[in-house]
């Protein structure tokens, strides 16, 4: 039996006093009204939508004036949840708004769905293949790719990814994807995107507590975000060559897992001593950044759910941005503002690069105890694998990717934040 939809309308008038002085929702016989009386109307719509969903209402119709692209999207961000089915009867939008809304529904919902999948259902190989499927669907014949896995990674010199992933019975996987709409195999590469795809992170022998491990199916959020960003940019008309590198692995405990004191020797000549197996994201990203640097692109963007320190600084509300390039930082922050997504720049300076001393290798994979800036030192570690790290390199520590519990405006789970901002930047 089909249910009748709950009609949802927008109003710039405050709710009747009986609903409360600052009520954002009221209802009557004809449906529910969202009261947009504050400064941030889109946030109010998202919070109201989540409130409607939390009341068990699963079928709504957005009616009346004021429902445009951004209002509809804000409603969906709050109304959508990881359990059950939701049905929305959307208002008519203009042709361009409808096309943009449809691509957001397709691509950002893909990102949220993939991040929310249990690790049992999404291993390294599945992550790589589902990324290929999404990009191929929007990029068609302009897409080519190579997937390397298991011991082939060691033989080809992808030592960080192989070392981290070898402890799992699901082999590590590296995806190198080329979107080349020019058709010219010698066309310059405009941008490289590198994503951390740790499909489950136990911490390895530096074992996480359960309260930190329970959300680690989302540790591939960086890979999902850059995949979605490239798909979004392509669907918006990207005509430049972009390469995508996904570093996919499980970080497990086993007789074959890597150990503290092990030394990883990378293709760019750097050696790294492992002093914490839970700082594994930077070890796999290093391989992707080496490949990205070899392309000599204008822009390198890596995205990773990299540090707890970034979440301590920003909560789950902002993505953290690190870069030495002030011009590129301003460009990304401008993209974030235009897409209404939350980014915040955190410090990254030349002195952070010396915070990783090792007695036995060029670098330690964690900062020395006297240096407490964990997110900055993690970014600094990555800079050692970017040949021209001072220009055109952006590192995004994806603090806003996933929420362990529901809040005012979000259901529990993945948010999809960051996809539109990176896509916007690729199109500048």
CA distance 257 to 204: 7
- In the structure encoding, which two tokens stand for residue 186, read together? 């010698």
Which of 51, 112, 282, 353 is flagged as catalytic?
282
- Is residue 86 flagged as an active site residue? no
In this structure, what are the phi and psi dihedrals at residue 219, rounded to the nearest 5 degrees? -75, 0
- 302 is annotated as contributing to ligand binding: no
- 259 is annotated as contributing to ligand binding: no
Question: Which SS3 state, helix, strand or coil, does residue 299 take?
Answer: strand
CA distance 417 to 399: 10
| E strand or H helix that includes residue 212 | helix 210-213
Q: What angle do CA 211, 114, 320 make, to 5 degrees?
A: 65
Which of 58, 86, 154, 208 is flagged as catalytic?
208
What HEC string does 307-373 produce?
A: CHHHHHHHCCCCEEEECCCHHHHHHHHHHHHHCCCCEEECCCCHHHHHCCCCCCCCEECCCCCCCCC
Sheet arrangement for strand 173-179: 143-149, 173-179, 242-251, 191-201, 299-304, 393-397, 319-322, 343-345
- 16 is annotated as contributing to ligand binding: no
Could you give the dihedral angle defined by the CA atoms of residues 407, 410, 411 and 416, in that order, rounded to the nearest 10 degrees?
Answer: -140
Q: What angle do CA 223, 134, 74 make, to 5 degrees?
A: 75
- 280 is annotated as contributing to ligand binding: yes
Q: What angle do CA 121, 126, 131 make, to 5 degrees?
A: 125
- 201 is annotated as contributing to ligand binding: yes
- Which residues on neighbouring strands pair with residue 87, listed in sequence order? 59
Question: Which SS3 state, helix, strand or coil, does residue 161 take?
Answer: helix
CB of 343 closer than 8 Å to CB of 333: yes
In this structure, what are the phi and psi dihedrals at residue 7, rounded to the nearest 5 degrees? -75, 135
CB of 325 closer than 8 Å to CB of 392: yes
- Is residue 282 flagged as an active site residue? yes
> Residues at the annotated binding site?
196, 201, 219, 278, 280
Active site residues: 208, 282
Residue positions forming the annotated binding site for Mn(2+): 196, 201, 219, 278, 280
């Amino acid at each position: 039996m089909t249910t009748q939809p709950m009609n949802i309308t927008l109003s710039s008038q405050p709710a009747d006093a009986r609903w409360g002085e600052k009520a954002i929702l009221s209802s009557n016989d004809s449906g529910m009204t969202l009261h947009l009386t504050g400064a941030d109307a889109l946030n109010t719509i998202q919070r109201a939508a989540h409130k409607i969903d939390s009341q068990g209402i699963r079928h709504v119709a957005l009616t009346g004036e004021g429902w445009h692209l951004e209002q509809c999207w804000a409603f969906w961000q709050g109304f959508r949840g990881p359990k059950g089915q939701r049905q929305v009867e959307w208002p008519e939008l203009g042709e361009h708004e409808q096309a943009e809304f449809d691509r957001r529904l397709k691509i950002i919902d893909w990102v949220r769905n993939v991040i929310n999948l249990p690790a049992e259902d999404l291993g390294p190989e599945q992550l790589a293949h589902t990324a290929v499927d999404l990009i191929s669907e929007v990029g068609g014949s302009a897409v080519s790719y190579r997937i390397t896995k298991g011991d082939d990674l060691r033989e080809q010199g992808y030592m960080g990814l192989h070392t981290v992933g070898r402890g799992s019975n699901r082999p590590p996987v590296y995806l190198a994807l080329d979107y080349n709409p020019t058709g010219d195999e010698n066309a310059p590469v405009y941008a490289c995107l590198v994503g951390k795809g740790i499909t489950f992170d136990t911490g390895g022998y530096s074992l996480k507590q359960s309260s930190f491990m329970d959300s680690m199916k989302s540790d591939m959020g960086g890979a999902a975000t850059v995949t979605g960003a490239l798909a979004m940019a392509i669907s918006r008309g990207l005509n430049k060559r972009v390469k995508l590198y996904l570093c996919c692995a499980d970080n497990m405990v086993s007789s074959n897992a890597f150990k503290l004191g092990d030394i990883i020797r990378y293709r760019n000549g750097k050696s790294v001593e492992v002093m914490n197996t839970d700082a594994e994201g930077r070890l796999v990203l290093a391989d992707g950044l080496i490949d990205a640097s070899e392309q000599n692109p204008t822009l390198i963007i890596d995205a990773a759910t990299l540090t707890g320190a970034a979440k301590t600084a920003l909560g789950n509300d902002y993505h953290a941005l690190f870069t030495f390039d002030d011009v590129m930082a301003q460009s990304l922050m401008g993209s974030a503002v235009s897409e209404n997504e939350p980014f915040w720049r955190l410090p990254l300076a030349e002195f952070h690069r010396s915070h990783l001393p090792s007695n036995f290798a060029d670098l330690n994979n964690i900062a020395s105890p006297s240096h407490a800036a964990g997110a900055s030192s993690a970014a600094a570690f990555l800079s050692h694998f970017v040949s021209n790290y001072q220009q055109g390199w952006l590192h995004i520590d994806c603090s806003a990717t996933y929420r362990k519990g529901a809040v005012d405006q979000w259901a529990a789970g993945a948010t999809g934040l960051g996809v539109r901002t990176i896509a916007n930047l690729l199109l500048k």
